[in-house]
Amino acid sequence: MSTDNSSTEKSVWRRAFEWHEARLPLVSFIDNAVGTKYPAPRNLNYFWNFGFLAGFVLVLMIMTGVVLAMNYIPHKDMAFDSVERIMRDVNYGWLIRYMHANGASFFFIVVYIHIFRGLYYGSYKAPREVLWWIGIIIYLVMMATAFMGYVLPWGQMSFWGATVITNLFSAIPLIGEPIVTFLWGGFSVDNPTLNRFFALHYLLPFVIFALVFLHVWALHIPGSNNPLGIEVGPADKIPFHPYYTIKDVFGIGVFLLVYFAVVFWGPNMLGDPLNYVVANPLVTPPHIVPEWYYLPFYAILRAIPDKLLGVIAMFGSILVLFVVPWLDTSRVRSANFRPVYRVFFWLFIINGMVLGWCGSQLPEGLPLIVGRICTLYYFLFFFVLMPVIGWMETPKPLPASIGSPALKAAE
Amino acid sequence: MANTATAHSVASGTADGETRRDFLLHSTVAFGTVGTALAVWPLISSMNPAADTLALSTTEFSLANLQEGQAIIVVWQGKPVFVRYRTPAEIESARNAPMSDLVDPIKDEERVKKDKEKYLILVGVCTHLGCIPLGTKPMDPRGDFGGWLCPCHGSHYDTAGRIRKGPAPKNLAVPPYQYLDDTTVRIG
């Protein structure tokens, strides 16, 4: 019946839809972005799920965050109690807050896998440098957002974390102290600091949302990279919908299983118990640690026994990602075809995890020494190994197309 | 590709034209829709009154100092509650009002407790659009029927708090309340 209709006369719904699309092509826009009109390489593996997942977690964070903000009070005398009220009195407040707090951790897990996928498969290389840059900016804004969000419950770790992180800026020569006073809006972390952190914590996720649009836009100019890292012709592409939408939805299912396992059975596993003690500006806890996702950078900061150089190294460890497209001199994108680089890449991943462990320990003895060695390897990887291996390494032969190895095997 | 095409065309051959793929699609959409609705529910539910808000839902007050002809306002659940010690003339006028004159007909006896007819207890929120009617303070205008007059849109209430004139559709509400002793009342 429907086929008869289309050949002779369009239904009223179809005509209304086309009338609207001619004026605002909203559905076509989505179809071009993540629908049937976006051809994607047919060999994308599950590591390619994490971009979509990151977008999903962003929406989850905004939704839970908005309802939390309806019950949260950004005042130094009321913030802590208002969070406890959310936990005890607000309907499902415990669930929403645990989803938000653990959502931050899972956001970082997803984004770290997303970044390392890009690093492994050479997704930062020409012509995707700007796409890579926008990704790094999103990551930086994410770090700022997460940090300010962690301050809001106004526990001991919130307060002293805020004090330590804002004091990083005091390392800047001459203007350091005035900048810190400006950041605080006072002479210590206090009510004005809490107020502005809340305002910015609410604002920045929407900035991220806008950046994600730029990220996806920049992705669509060259199209997706793929595990082989080769240029892909139309014959090797399949429409994003339904092939990758269904794969992404399946990935979200798996993600939700793991995420809610933590939300329900270990909601405080990734947090610090000290943040359930109300902020006290007169007593610093014996051991200040940031949330796990900052630990490697914290270790780099503490590895260097000079205030200014430590801060420069810490920020530098992230900013170096901006020049990775030029530090990597190899003509081959995917590390699957780079036997030497591949070894050092995985060493770099392990190195990052060891750095994270160092960051969680007191900065003395073994953790400090290990932290220094790992910091050295971190920068060695980017500034020496990446360019040198790119020159010296003989990559394995690349297939001409995604289908060619299979075709060859069939012959 | 060839396999799925074959499977599809074979499945299409069923009598009702439904394929296995249609079944999978429809059940996925159904599960997804129900799942999303369930997931959104806690977010919506969190906007309902919280446990501490519900815990504050009763108010107690004393009538001991209230004199005949006087009225007070008590706060209950963040709303004003009118408590008026009515004069015999006011009770008389409320009881004599013909039912046919009432917009929302109800007897005066049903709006007060037995043997406590002199005390009228009402939620002081106009049933039109939520303003607080005047008539509690001695100098307030009381409208054409000696009860309350809402200043926002001119609703007149009588000495039983019933709507007599103006846009309000219903009488001032009688809150749930009980006498704990002769002069102590608990609302809620």
> pLDDT tens digits, residue range A367-380?
999 999 999 999 99
Dihedral Cα B156, B162, B167, B173, nearest 10 deg: 120
Give the three-state DSSP class for B180. coil
For residue B151, count CB atoms less than 10 angstroms from its CB and return exposed for 0-12, middle for 13-18, buried for 19 or more.
middle
Full set of structural domains in chain A with CATH: 32-283 (1.20.810.10), 289-402 (1.10.287)
From B43, B45, B52, residue closest to A63, measured CB to CB: B43
Average pLDDT over every residue of A229-250: 94
Contact B46 A85 (CB under 8 A): no
Q: How far is A238 from chain B (nearest CA, A)?
A: 12
Selected residues 25-54 of chain B with any CB under 8 Å from a CB in chain A:
42-43, 45-48, 50-53
For residue A91, list chain B residues with Cβ-Cβ distance below 8 A: 42, 45-46, 48, 50-51
Confidence at B54, pLDDT banded by 50, 70, 90: confident
Asked if A63 is an interface residue toward chain B (Cβ–Cβ < 8 A), one would say: yes
Is A220 designated active site? yes
Confidence at B10, pLDDT banded by 50, 70, 90: very low
Between A363 and A311, where is the model more confident? A311
In terms of C-beta distances under 8 Å and separation of at least 24 residues, what long-range contacts does A338-342 make, across chains too?
A: A338/A389, A338/A393, A338/A395, A338/A396, A339/A393, A339/A395, A339/A396, A340/A389, A340/A392, A340/A393, A341/A385, A341/A386, A341/A389, A341/A390, A341/A393
Residue A254 pairs in a beta bridge with none
Selected residues 99-158 of chain A with any CB under 8 Å from a CB in chain B:
none
- Structure tokens, A357: 């462990």
Average pLDDT over every residue of A240-268: 96
Q: How far is A113 from chain B (nearest CA, A)?
A: 26
Is B153 designated active site? yes
Least confident of A36-40, A50-54, A60-64, B54-58: B54-58
- Taking a C-beta distance cutoff of 8 angstroms, is the pair A351, A378 a contact? yes
Give residue B110's identity as a one-letter amino acid code. E
Q: Percent of chain A beyond pLDDT 70? A: 97
Q: Is the pLDDT of residue B13 over 60?
A: no
- Structure tokens, A170: 């005091």
Task: Give kind and range of the element (H or E) at residue B59.
Answer: strand B59-62
Asked if B16 is an interface residue toward chain A (Cβ–Cβ < 8 A), one would say: no
Contact B50 A63 (CB under 8 A): no
Confidence at B56, pLDDT banded by 50, 70, 90: confident
Q: What is the pLDDT of residues B102-139, one digit of tens each?
A: 999 999 999 999 889 999 999 999 999 999 999 999 89
Q: What is the pLDDT of residues A292-348, one digit of tens each?
A: 999 999 999 999 999 999 999 999 999 999 999 999 999 999 999 999 999 999 999
Q: Is the pLDDT of residue B9 over 70?
A: no
Structure confidence at residue B3 (pLDDT): 43
Q: How far is A70 from chain B (nearest CA, A)?
A: 8
Average pLDDT over every residue of A282-287: 92
For residue B53, list chain A residues with Cβ-Cβ distance below 8 A: 89
Contact A71 B50 (CB under 8 A): yes
Structure confidence at residue A291 (pLDDT): 94
Query: Residue B45: closest CA among chain A residues belongs to which residue?
Result: A91
From B46, B51, B52, residue closest to A96, measured CB to CB: B46
Average pLDDT over every residue of A277-285: 94
Least confident of A54-58, A326-330, B9-13: B9-13
Is A247 designated active site? yes
Contact B42 A95 (CB under 8 A): yes
Contact A91 B43 (CB under 8 A): no
Q: What is the pLDDT of residues A83-133, one digit of tens each?
A: 999 999 999 999 999 999 999 999 999 999 999 999 999 999 999 999 999
Query: DSSP secondary-structure letter at B176?
Result: P
Q: Spot the catalytic one: B8, B128, B153, B156.
A: B153
Sheet of B71-76: strand order equals B71-76, B79-85, B119-123
* CA-to-CA dists, residue A220 to A215, A217, B14, B83, angstroms: 9, 5, 41, 69
Residue B28 CB contacts under 8 Å (≥ 6 apart), including other chains: none
Q: Is the pLDDT of residue B1 over 50?
A: no
Mean pLDDT of chain B: 89
Confidence at A406, pLDDT banded by 50, 70, 90: low
Q: Is the pLDDT of residue B6 over 50?
A: no
Query: DSSP secondary-structure letter at B135?
Result: -
Q: What is the pLDDT of residues B26-45, one digit of tens each?
A: 998 999 999 999 999 999 99
CA nearest to B104, candidates B172, B176, B177, B174: B172
- Taking a C-beta distance cutoff of 8 angstroms, is the pair B133, B142 a contact? no
Q: Is the pLDDT of residue A289 over 50?
A: yes
Contact B46 A63 (CB under 8 A): no
Confidence at A2, pLDDT banded by 50, 70, 90: very low
For residue A96, list chain B residues with Cβ-Cβ distance below 8 A: 42-43, 46
Between A122 and B16, where is the model more confident? A122
Contact B51 A89 (CB under 8 A): yes
Contact A96 B43 (CB under 8 A): yes
Q: How far is A83 from chain B (nearest CA, A)?
A: 13
Q: How far is B4 from chain A (nearest CA, A)?
A: 14
Q: Is the pLDDT of residue A46 over 70?
A: yes
Mean pLDDT of chain A: 94
Contact A71 B48 (CB under 8 A): no
- Structure tokens, A124: 């930062």
Q: Is the pLDDT of residue B174 over 50?
A: yes
Q: Is the pLDDT of residue B11 over 60?
A: no
Sheet of B184-187: strand order equals B59-62, B184-187, B177-179
Query: Residue A90: closest CA among chain B residues belongs to which residue?
Result: B50
Q: Is the pLDDT of residue A147 over 70?
A: yes
For residue B51, list chain A residues with Cβ-Cβ distance below 8 A: 88-91
Q: How far apart are CA A405 and CA A108, in angstroms?
A: 36
Residue A134 sits at the vertex; the CA angle it makes with A130 and A140, to the nearest 5 degrees, is 145
Give residue A123's identity as a one-letter amino acid code. S
Structure confidence at residue B15 (pLDDT): 62
Q: Spot the catalytic one: A100, A291, A317, A328.
A: A291
Least confident of A201-210, A347-356, B134-143: B134-143
Interface A:B, Cβ pairs < 8 A? 35
Task: Give kind and range of the element (H or E) at residue A206.
Answer: helix A191-220
From B47, B51, B52, residue closest to A70, measured CB to CB: B47
Q: How far is A258 from chain B (nearest CA, A)?
A: 16
Contact A89 B46 (CB under 8 A): no
Q: Is the pLDDT of residue B7 over 60?
A: no
- Taking a C-beta distance cutoff of 8 angstroms, is the pair B160, B93 a contact? no
Q: Is the pLDDT of residue B5 over 80?
A: no
Asked whether this complex has an ipTM greater than 0.90, the answer is: no
How many CB atoms are located within 10 Å of the residue A2 CB? 7
Confidence at A411, pLDDT banded by 50, 70, 90: low
